[in-house]
């Protein structure tokens, strides 16, 4: 084991068993964080939560200890953390590596219950909602969804995920002191993983959507840079000044900056608000974003940020913060950051650079607004609550009761048409997942995070729909628990007309009408005397004509509904 000092002599690099190690000299107990470049963004919807389940299993054999130890899954990084004396931290790190290379899968069901209990305490909020509206049920957008890995990932899949993602090439160890001489990190051999590319599902930017929370927020992806960080600080200062001190309508406006990969970061601005002033808060947030992009940041704020950031690199005790940054940056970029490089970037940063970051943020912003707030159409596009994907072409499926619209079952997907332009479409080829119940209920989830919910008991030919779904999405299905009989819905309310029966009735009436008309005409020719015979023949023809028109009307109504 050899150590190489950074040019700043604050951050040291070495290697243990192929794992890069970043360490610094810091007072107090030894702190350790074994970090891996894997997180929520690497998962797929059917196996959402697999990283979290692996993290829990890896820690199980360590048991309860008197010193701090924990694991954490983030968007693109997972960490195993401990604080204690050298022997305690060494045992923790060795135990984590042993757990990752040989997961105690016999503990799987118990840890799934623990995760379900943890999930019940964890509520979704504006941030996760904004991620899903922006990225759909993929990447960072998965935070909104339940962790399905407990029912979709078997023991082999869990160990394979651990071997591939929690390997030495995809790891870095952070220490607040010199590495213990007997520390070993026996992880599997593998390869470094680059964070998945962020794919935006929005048709237009900037945009906004409605949510059910009592705050106002905005999310934007940014190009990673010192200028982007300075922009977030300038925006936060302006929001606090106006919302907290001038208007007094918010308590703690905040702007967060989270590096995602080598070139991208996510900026999230949020302001709590008094319920009577949500529109005012929305106006201030959007006006502030517009103002900084149009007029540039306050020069004083940029200079303050520059000086504060520079002091963090050179002040006493700054080595631990720099070590944390160096370790996380290495995971995301594969490169070692040096203090001189960071200082040079801060010195070179101009006001125009910060303005460029503000312009990028404004262009890519998605706003999250409650029911009582709006944005002007010229400022942002309102994201529709329905599919932008067009309806499929195929067989029409009608409900057993009125007020449910209609289904269109095509060879390539399914559309639920509610009328008045409100459609939800999921195509089989791009369907992210299907939640499947034993009684036949299916929920299909599209790349736009639009869902189509099928209860076969409520639809004519409902089983035909389920069979088509299952035939085309078997590998993406997520089994759901069996429902009680009373929880399975039954049709209520008036039944809509049966199209098949209506077509048959119309044809029968048309045929009967034709017979009456023919008989009436023949009777007229055959009659030789008396007016009564003529009147009866004419009456039969008139009734025939009337029945024929009614029959044609029935068939025309069916055709109009289908088009």
pLDDT of residue 340: 84
pLDDT of residue 518: 53
Q: Computed over its alpha carbons, how large is the radius of gyration of the chain?
A: 33
Q: How far is CA 254 from the centre of its chain?
A: 22
What is the per-residue pLDDT across 517-551, written as a single tens digit (0 to 9) for each?
A: 555 555 655 554 544 455 555 555 555 555 556 55
Report angle CA 432, 433, 439 to the nearest 5 degrees. 155
Please indicate, yes or no, whether residues 457 and 504 belong to a single structural domain of this protein: no
* Residue 124 clears pLDDT 90, i.e. is over it: no
Nearest to 334 by CA among 176, 170, 163: 170
Please indicate, yes or no, whether residues 241 and 115 belong to a single structural domain of this protein: no
Q: Domain range spanning residue 349? A: 207-382
In a domain, 525, yes or no: yes
Please indicate, yes or no, whether residues 115 and 156 belong to a single structural domain of this protein: yes
In a domain, 192, yes or no: no
Q: Tell me the mean pLDDT in the region 195-209.
A: 94
CA–CA separation, 369 vs 118, rounded Å?
28
Q: In this structure, are residues 186 and 97 in contact, taking their beta carbons and an 8 Å threshold?
A: yes
In a domain, 87, yes or no: yes
In a domain, 181, yes or no: no
Of 463, 487, 511, which marks where a domain is finished? Answer: 487
Per-residue confidence band for 338, with pLDDT thresholds at 50, 70 and 90: confident
* Residue 563 clears pLDDT 50, i.e. is over it: no
pLDDT of residue 6: 40
Domain count, the chain: 4
Please indicate, yes or no, whether residues 340 and 218 belong to a single structural domain of this protein: yes
Tokens of 195: 């964070």
Residue 535, exposed/middle/buried by CB under 10 A (0-12, 13-18, 19+)?
Answer: exposed
In a domain, 187, yes or no: no
What is the per-residue pLDDT across 339-363, written as a single tens digit (0 to 9) for each?
A: 888 889 999 999 999 999 999 999 9
pLDDT of residue 523: 61
Nearest to 362 by CA among 486, 205, 499: 205
Q: What is the CATH number of the domain that holds 445?
A: 2.30.29
Tokens of 561: 């509904």
* Residue 117 clears pLDDT 80, i.e. is over it: yes
Please indicate, yes or no, whether residues 225 and 366 belong to a single structural domain of this protein: yes
pLDDT of residue 436: 98
* Residue 429 clears pLDDT 70, i.e. is over it: yes
In a domain, 298, yes or no: yes
What is the per-residue pLDDT across 383-396, written as a single tens digit (0 to 9) for each?
A: 998 999 999 999 99
Of 440, 463, 487, which marks where a domain is finished? Answer: 487
* Residue 101 clears pLDDT 50, i.e. is over it: yes
What is the per-residue pLDDT across 229-277, written as a single tens digit (0 to 9) for each?
A: 999 999 999 999 999 999 999 999 999 999 999 999 999 999 998 889 9
pLDDT of residue 502: 59
CA–CA separation, 294 vs 106, rounded Å?
59
Nearest to 22 by CA among 365, 434, 324: 324
Please indicate, yes or no, whether residues 225 and 374 belong to a single structural domain of this protein: yes
Please indicate, yes or no, whether residues 356 and 212 belong to a single structural domain of this protein: yes
Portion of the chain with pLDDT greater than 90, in percent: 76
pLDDT of residue 2: 39
Of 359, 382, 405, which marks where a domain is finished? Answer: 382
pLDDT of residue 545: 59
* Residue 4 clears pLDDT 50, i.e. is over it: no
Q: Tell me the mean pLDDT in the region 435-446.
A: 98
In a domain, 389, yes or no: no
368 Cβ partners below 8 Å, 6+ apart? Answer: 126, 129, 130, 133, 208, 209, 211, 213, 215, 216, 217, 218, 219
CA–CA separation, 202 vs 206, rounded Å?
9
- 33 C-beta neighbours (distance < 10 Å), count: 23
Please indicate, yes or no, whether residues 133 and 86 belong to a single structural domain of this protein: yes
* Residue 501 clears pLDDT 80, i.e. is over it: no
* Residue 320 clears pLDDT 80, i.e. is over it: yes
Q: How far is CA 255 from the centre of its chain?
A: 21
In a domain, 183, yes or no: no
Please indicate, yes or no, whether residues 471 and 504 belong to a single structural domain of this protein: no
What is the per-residue pLDDT across 149-201, written as a single tens digit (0 to 9) for each?
A: 999 999 999 999 999 999 999 999 999 999 999 999 999 999 999 999 999 99
Q: Tell me the mean pLDDT in the region 404-413.
A: 96
Please indicate, yes or no, whether residues 56 and 90 belong to a single structural domain of this protein: yes
Please indicate, yes or no, whether residues 483 and 504 belong to a single structural domain of this protein: no
* Residue 473 clears pLDDT 90, i.e. is over it: yes
Q: What is the CATH number of the domain that holds 169?
A: 3.30.830.10
Q: In this structure, are residues 57 and 71 in contact, taking their beta carbons and an 8 Å threshold?
A: no
Q: What is the mean pLDDT of the chain?
A: 89
Please indicate, yes or no, whether residues 258 and 128 belong to a single structural domain of this protein: no
What is the per-residue pLDDT across 42-85, written as a single tens digit (0 to 9) for each?
A: 999 999 999 999 999 999 999 999 899 999 999 999 999 999 99
């Amino acid at each position: 084991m050899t150590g190489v000092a950074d040019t700043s002599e604050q951050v040291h690099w070495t290697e243990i068993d192929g794992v890069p190690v970043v360490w610094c000299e810091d007072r107090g107990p030894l702190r350790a964080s074994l970090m891996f470049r894997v997180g929520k963004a690497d998962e797929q919807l059917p196996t959402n939560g697999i990283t979290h389940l692996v993290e829990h299993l890896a820690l199980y054999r360590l048991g309860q200890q008197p010193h701090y130890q924990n694991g954490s899954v983030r968007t693109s990084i997972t960490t195993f953390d401990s604080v204690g004396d050298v022997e305690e931290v060494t045992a923790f790190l060795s135990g984590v590596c042993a757990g990752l290379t040989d997961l105690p899968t016999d503990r799987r069901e118990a840890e799934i219950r623990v995760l379900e209990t943890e999930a019940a305490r964890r509520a979704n909020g504006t941030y996760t909602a904004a991620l899903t509206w922006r990225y759909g049920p993929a990447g960072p957008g998965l935070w909104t969804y339940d962790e399905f890995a407990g029912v979709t990932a078997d023991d082999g899949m869990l160990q394979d995920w651990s071997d591939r993602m929690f390997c030495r090439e995809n790891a870095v160890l952070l220490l607040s002191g010199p590495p213990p001489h007997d520390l070993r990190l026996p992880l599997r051999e593998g390869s470094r993983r680059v964070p998945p590319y962020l794919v935006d599902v929005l048709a237009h930017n900037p945009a906004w959507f409605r949510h059910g929370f009592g705050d106002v927020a905005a999310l934007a992806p940014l190009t990673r840079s010192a200028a982007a960080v300075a922009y977030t600080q300038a925006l936060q200062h302006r929001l606090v000044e106006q919302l907290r001190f001038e208007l007094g309508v918010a308590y703690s406006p905040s702007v967060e900056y989270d590096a995602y990969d080598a070139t991208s970061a996510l900026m999230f601005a949020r302001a709590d608000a008094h319920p009577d002033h949500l529109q005012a808060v929305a106006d201030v947030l959007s006006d502030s974003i517009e103002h900084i992009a149009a007029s540039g940041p306050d020069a004083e704020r940029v200079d303050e940020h520059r000086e504060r950031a520079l002091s963090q690199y050179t002040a006493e005790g700054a080595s631990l913060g720099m070590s944390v940054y160096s370790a996380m940056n290495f995971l995301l970029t594969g490169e070692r950051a040096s203090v001189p490089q960071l200082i040079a970037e801060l010195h070179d940063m101009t006001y125009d650079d910060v303005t460029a970051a503000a312009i990028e943020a404004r262009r890519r912003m998605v706003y999250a607004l409650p029911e009582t707030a709006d944005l002007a159409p010229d400022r942002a596009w309102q994201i529709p609550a329905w599919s932008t994907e067009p309806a499929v072409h195929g067989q029409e499926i009608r409900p057993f009761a009125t007020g449910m619209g209609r289904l269109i079952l095509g060879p390539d997907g399914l559309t639920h048409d509610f009328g008045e332009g409100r459609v939800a479409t999921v195509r089989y080829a791009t369907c992210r997942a299907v939640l499947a119940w034993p009684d036949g209920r299916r929920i299909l989830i599209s790349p736009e995070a639009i869902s189509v919910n099928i209860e076969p008991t409520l639809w004519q030919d409902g089983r035909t729909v389920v069979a088509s779904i299952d035939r085309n999405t078997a590998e993406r299905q997520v089994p759901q628990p069996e429902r009680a009989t009373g929880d399975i819905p039954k049709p209520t309310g008036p039944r809509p007309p049966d199209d098949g029966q209506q077509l048959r009735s119309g044809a029968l009436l048309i045929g009967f009408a034709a017979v009456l008309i023919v008989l009436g005409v023949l009777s007229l020719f055959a009659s030789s005397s008396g007016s009564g015979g003529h009147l009866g023949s004419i009456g039969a023809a008139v009734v025939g004509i009337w029945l024929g028109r009614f029959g044609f009307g029935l068939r025309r109504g069916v055709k109009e509904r289908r088009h």
